[in-house]
Amino acid sequence: MNQKKIFSGLIVVVALSAVAWLIFSYKNASDELSHRESDKAVLQKDIEELRKEANSNRKYLEKLRKDPDFQDATARQELGYGKDGERVYRFPEETK
């Protein structure tokens, strides 16, 4: 009878330990999942912003390739080019 009580007590301790380990593992897995979902949402937002930027760059490049007036305006503004007989003045950029 005494051995039965010891064995039963040992079974209860092992079962409680297993349940505690399962609860601890579940909590860790749940926290990790929550963290990963948060990271996923941030990365999806970044992807969407990058897609918009790539689309905008694609449109800009297409316009630059096809529109001669836009090419001239961009060269004048970005590179400081001018037309024949035109004087181009460059001023230093202001810093705040």
For residue 7, the model assigns a pLDDT of 85
Using pLDDT thresholds of 50, 70 and 90, give the confidence band for residue 30.
very high
Domain assignment of residue 92, yes or no: no
What is the torsion angle, in degrees rounded to the nearest 10, for the CA atoms of residue 79, residue 84, residue 86 and residue 87? 60
Domain assignment of residue 93, yes or no: no
Domain assignment of residue 66, yes or no: yes
Whether residue 80 is predicted with pLDDT greater than 80 in this model: the reply is no
- pTM attached to this predicted model: 0.56
| Total count of domains within the chain | 1
Share of the chain above pLDDT 90, in %: 65
Domain of 56 in residue numbering reads as 2-79
